[in-house]
Amino acid sequence: MYNVLRQALFCLPPETSHELALDAIGCAERLGLLRLAVKRPPDAPVEVMGLQFSNPVGLAAGLDKNGDYFNGLGALGFGFVEIGTVTPRPQPGNPRPRLFRLPQHQAVINRMGFNNLGIDHLLAQVKKRRYQGILGINLGKNFDTPVEKAANDYLVGMNKAWPHADYITVNLSSPNTPGLRDLQFGDNLKNLLIRLRGEQEMLADRHGYYVPLAVKIAPDMNEEQLREIAVLLVKLGIDGVIATNTTIARTGVEDSPLAVEAGGLSGQPVREKSTQVIRQLASALDGALPIIGVGGICSGADAVEKIEAGASLVQIYTGFIYRGPALVREAVEAIAGRQAAT
């Protein structure tokens, strides 16, 4: 059924089909149809960052930027859903076209640019929450906020998201916001994380409960840079790391006429690079904090590969576009099967 729907949707421009698909999922959930149409994966509970996940397969940020559809998406069997990236103020993102499919590679190139309606809209949607799984909120900075003042945007997001998020992600790795990736290195990263950790402790005291904080990093780093990040994350007590975001490389899609398009590449071509980052990061962290693995998961075997590389949880995004809800169940069952065999 999904293959037929996908063929129809792929006849439309990518953003148009994206919006139609999400509208359909949201409508089906509100009418109670998803319970009949989707075979949910088995329970495979896991505890990560002090949170109880019904299964280790989540939806990565980017699909539901504004929190308009997470109830429907969650009903497809995800153990957790991450919404955003959201910024303090609404912004339109980059000019269209800014989203490109590469079906022959099971890949997508996007340069969306954190297009979203702002955190106040997202939180108004979260207040309508029916989804019972873990909900993460992914935070970014506005495009016109200077890098040296980026912490202010993240602090605004943390304060507003705290009462509504099960965990919060700080997105430092999108290639589509100028200067953002500079925040992943050296004093920029250290100073930002010190401020965020201080705010996290203050908010925990004020509200009387703790919300874990994860950092999302890029795949385009060498082993030395990953070691430096790992040392800092452990030293400052960050709760988790999401590896990885999209890549600016075009390895594996050189034969596509769309390879010249600017933006981040996701999907099958980034799988190997993402897994290598997870493996190197796991070695550097030595179990000090959990890794959420994302990048190129298009099958159950791909999900298991991330777990074997050192991830505690996985997220899917582009694979979900190409495979649909069946991928969620397949990934959960594959991970559960691997754990039962060990």
Which are the catalytic amino acids? 174
The CA angle 178-105-293, to the nearest 5 degrees, is 60
Alpha helices in the chain (DSSP H): 2-9, 14-30, 34-37, 70-74, 119-126, 150-161, 186-207, 223-236, 271-285, 300-309, 318-323, 325-341
Cα–Cα distance between 266 and 250 in angstroms, integer? Answer: 10
Asked whether the beta carbons of 296 and 271 are under 8 A apart, the reply is yes
DSSP H/E element including 249:
none
Task: Find all residues with CB under 8 Å of 249, minimum gap 6, and list them.
Answer: 220, 265, 273
Q: Which two tokens stand for residue 267?
A: 């999907």
Asked whether the beta carbons of 219 and 274 are under 8 A apart, the reply is yes
Cα–Cα distance between 226 and 263 in angstroms, integer? Answer: 22
Cα–Cα distance between 70 and 130 in angstroms, integer? Answer: 9
